Chains A and B, each alone.
Chain A
């Protein structure tokens, strides 16, 4: 199959050029991988040199991250220090220099660790036409969305209330057995808890029963045990080369308990 590559100066123009059989190129870690093997299911690669894709800036009480911001760049950004461990969890140094936030939203389980954090942080996904989608809606519609992602917006600072853990078989780098992100505002009386898990379904998913069990409570051992017992409700992990679905269901509550109680993994 002959591949054509078109580059556009603005994301809007790139979005207009998208059609069936087109694939947008972010950092290339997934798209070029597809090109390297057999026949990809696309014949046109579209990319954009729009500088807005690389912007990191404050937005209200939160932060706006352009879809083209790489994990390595995010690790150096001021105002986003709480996201440094999340960006660091994505691949090795070379991958982090290439992989983008926008691309991370489209990868399949067990990848996509950054999206797990965004889900716990109630991020908004901004599309190229200006539409704002809550990230949970974005994941629900991901396969059928039209247009391109221009940025993600984390609506409020999460310093101090955000926790993240990626469980891997090989250290320091590996694909996830399970990835867990939790946003626990409210201190001793937690309000609006978010617990998101990766590699426990085809997209990152929230553990809503567990979130409800935390509401109004604190991170004492009894509450945490109750939360962990229901953390896999509604989740649908898959077998893959990293772990079986059974194993993921067994270990996710263990690692969630350790994360919530501040224990080492």
Chain B
């Protein structure tokens, strides 16, 4: 199969991979760049487990043709923690039992991050809408919504999104 060179910034690090032509970004992240944080659930845009930020915008890596991220900035859940310190969203997920099996967590975290970037003080309904493209089969969603609201309070206190 033909390989196509792709260069992009992955979590702030310039990254180059040779991707199968027609491969999606999720395959390239996991198999080419070794970032296993984004997950493959449905591979058809229904579950949100592969959610990443591309140039700051929430996208589904499984439906993104890898070649279209040439020169762009891709952020995954692997970019959230800062050394030993968890991101406030991660911390709130852990402390609020918002992760059980954890498969949806990377996508949920990125959807939440995208929300809080544009809306640091969301309502409960706005949080529910922000994660409406992400499926969780464990938690019943309420702990996730609570965790995002908790993290939002902490992040506003820090003045960071």
Please, how many angstroms separate the alpha-carbon atoms of A4 and B48 in the complex?
Answer: 27
Q: Are B129 and A28 in contact (CB under 8 A)?
A: no
Size class of the contact patch on chain B: 20 to 34
Interface size on A, residues (CB 8 A): 26
| B58 CB contact (under 8 Å) in A28, A32, A94, A172 | A94
A36 part of interface (Cβ distance < 8 Å): yes
A3 to chain B: which residues have CB within 8 Å? Answer: 21-22
Q: Which of A5, A29, A37, A95 contacts B22 (CB 8 A)?
A: A5
* Contact partner, B133, options A31, A35, A93, Cβ 8 Å: A93
| A33, A93, A95, A97: most-surrounded residue (chain B CB, <10 A) | A93
Query: Taking the complex as formed, is B33 at the interface, i.e. its CB lies under 8 A from any CB of chain A?
Result: no
- B111 and A28 form a contact (CB under 8 A): no
- Whether the pair A36, B57 counts as a contact (CB closer than 8 A) is no
Q: Which B118-134 residues have a C-beta within 8 angstroms of A?
A: 128-134
Pair B21/A5 contact, Cβ less than 8 Å: yes
Interface majority SS (helix, strand, loop, mixed), chain A = mixed
- Decide: A95 and B2 in contact? CB cutoff 8 A: no
Structural contact, B22 and A98, CB atoms closer than 8 A: no
The reply to whether A92 and B133 contact each other, CB–CB distance below 8 Å, is yes
Write the A33-64 contact mask toward B (1 if CB under 8 angstroms, else 0). 10111000000010100000000000000000
Interface stretch, picked from B59-67, B87-95, B150-158, is: B59-67
Q: Is B44 an interface residue (CB 8 A)?
A: yes
CB distance from B46 to the nearest CB of A (A): 9
Known pairs A29-B45, A32-B24, A36-B24; A93 contacts B58 (CB<8 A):
yes
> How close is B127's CB to chain A, nearest CB, in angstroms?
11
Given contacts A2-B2, A32-B24, A35-B24, contact A91 B65 (CB under 8 A): no
A93-B132, A93-B133, A172-B129 known; A32 vs B21 contact (CB < 8 Å): no
A171-185 contacts to B, CB under 8 A, are: 172-173
Q: Does B114 contact A (CB under 8 A)?
A: yes
Q: Decide if B134 touches A25 in the complex (CB within 8 Å).
A: no
A-B pair number, CB within 8 angstroms: 84
Q: Which single member of B51, B68, B128, B132 contacts A28 (CB below 8 Å)?
A: B68
Contact present for B2 and A94 (CB under 8 Å) = no
Q: How far is the CB of A74 from chain B (nearest CB, A)?
A: 14
Asked if A45 and B114 sit within 8 Å, CB to CB, the answer is: no
Find the residue from A45, A94, A172 having the highest chain B CB count within 10 A. A94
The smallest C-beta distance from A169 to any residue of chain B, in angstroms, reads: 14
Measured between beta carbons, the chain B residues less than 8 angstroms from A25 are 65
B62–A36 contact, CB under 8 A? Answer: yes
Indicate if B1 sits at the interface (CB-CB under 8 A): yes
Task: List, in ascending order, chain A residues with CB within 8 A of B43's CB.
Answer: 33, 36-37
**A residues in contact with B129, CB < 8 Å:** 93, 172
State the CA gap A87–B24 with chains docked (Å). Answer: 25
**In the complex the two chains form, is B60's CB within 8 Å of A98's CB?**
yes
Binding site for B on A (CB under 8 A): 2-5, 7, 25, 28-29, 31-33, 35-37, 45, 47, 72, 91-95, 97-98, 172-173
- Can you pick out 8 interface pairs between chain A and chain B where the beta carbons lie within 8 Å of each other? A25-B65, A28-B65, A32-B65, A36-B24, A91-B45, A92-B111, A93-B114, A94-B51
Beyond A32-B64, A36-B43, 7 additional contacts (C-beta under 8 Å) are A28-B65, A92-B131, A92-B134, A93-B133, A94-B60, A94-B133, A97-B58
